[in-house]
Amino acid sequence: MSYAQAVHETVRALRTIRGRWADLLLAIETPPADHWPPRQLAHTMREDDDEPLVVEDRAPLVLREHPAPLNLGALDTARTVERLVFDLADTLAAVVQHTEQDDPRAWLSPDPSAPDSRRAAGSRAHGLHWACVWIEGRVQDEDTEPERELDGTVSAPPFEVLALHLLHEVRRTARIAETRVLRALGLDQRETPLPEPCPWCAGELMLHSAPDGPPAVTCSGGRDCSAPVPLDSRERSRVWEWDDLPELIAALGVDIAAAA
Ligand SMILES: [Zn+2]
């Protein structure tokens, strides 16, 4: 794998992690559910409501209390992912960071001697989202040129360019964390039979989910199924793509708000 490819994959994984982080935090507060109907569809459908879904608390889990988390699996995943990402930032800072501690671009590793838990957490206190952005900056070689100060002097670059072995380490860790997040949200590649038969032909409905796209549902009835959606390319199944799913859910009589 080339340097550029590794950068591309790593950036994609980091963006997936922070893009899905709010969903994972919500999942902690939600009883574990089947992957049907898809959680993210429930969120999308709820956007029409007057009450938008807002995750206000971006504080890292290490600094939060979960007196009664409803989904221990999601909490466990979130804690693991946080630890992986925070430890990775610590490692990178130790190797490639030369900037001063008061530079807002600096990543501060935990300091157990600090007077309170927030300061003791260092940059971890800013949460996982910031950690992912900071790591992405290192992967993208941001701020690796010498800088001219206000008085005209030139100072050393705040960060070094990542060595190839370090880039691969970042990529590996980011991919592991990404996989954990997607699996916890039921967005990894999988096929799940739905409990209800097809409302049009009583065929078997199958939910197909994948990390890089929205889920779809197929009906095994194929041409014999009268559902108002297209057949797949091999003409063996009816397919409800993302935009068609609300119609299927309505036909099944599933209460998406309750299911979310
Ligand atoms: Zn059908």
* Beta strands 205-210; 213-219: pairing state: antiparallel
CA 96 to CA 163: how far, in whole Å?
9
Question: Ligand 1 mean position to 229 CA, how many Å?
Answer: 10
Q: In terms of pLDDT, which residue wins out, 102 or 91?
A: 91
pLDDT, tens digit (0-9, with 9 covering 90-100), for 157-174: 999 999 999 999 999 999
* Beta strands 238-240; 213-219: pairing state: antiparallel
pLDDT, tens digit (0-9, with 9 covering 90-100), for 174-195: 999 999 999 888 778 888 899 8
Q: How many CA atoms lie within 13 A of 249 on its CB side?
A: 22
CA 147 to CA 34: how far, in whole Å?
53
Burial of 160 (C-beta count, 10 Å sphere; 0-12/13-18/19+) = middle
**The pLDDT of residue 255:** 64
Alpha carbon 170 to its chain centroid, in Å, reads 16
Q: How does residue 71 score in pLDDT terms, banded at 50, 70 and 90?
A: confident
Question: Ligand 1 mean position to 203 CA, how many Å?
Answer: 5
Evaluate if residue 57 carries a pLDDT over 60: no
Question: Ligand 1 mean position to 211 CA, how many Å?
Answer: 25
Find the mean pLDDT for residues 186-214.
87
CA 148 to CA 144: how far, in whole Å?
13
**Phi and psi dihedrals of 168, rounded to 5?**
-65, -35
**The pLDDT of residue 118:** 80
Tokens standing for residue 216? 């779809």
Find the mean pLDDT for residues 80-101.
95
pLDDT, tens digit (0-9, with 9 covering 90-100), for 73-90: 899 999 999 999 999 999
Question: Ligand 1 mean position to 143 CA, how many Å?
Answer: 56
Residue-averaged pLDDT of the chain: 86
Question: Ligand 1 mean position to 200 CA, how many Å?
Answer: 5
Q: Determine contact, residues 201/227, Cβ cutoff 8 Å.
A: yes
CA 92 to CA 85: how far, in whole Å?
11
Question: Ligand 1 mean position to 37 CA, how many Å?
Answer: 17
Q: Is the dihedral of CA 79, 84, 85, 91 positive or negative?
A: positive
Question: Ligand 1 mean position to 254 CA, how many Å?
Answer: 16
Q: How does residue 124 score in pLDDT terms, banded at 50, 70 and 90?
A: very high
Q: In terms of pLDDT, which residue wins out, 138 or 256?
A: 138
Task: Give the angle 132-183-42 at the CA atoms, nearest 5°.
Answer: 90
**The pLDDT of residue 122:** 93
Question: Ligand 1 mean position to 223 CA, how many Å?
Answer: 9
Question: Ligand 1 mean position to 194 CA, how many Å?
Answer: 12
Largest CA distance in the chain: 78
Alpha carbon 180 to its chain centroid, in Å, reads 9
The SS3 call for residue 167 is helix
CA 65 to CA 61: how far, in whole Å?
7
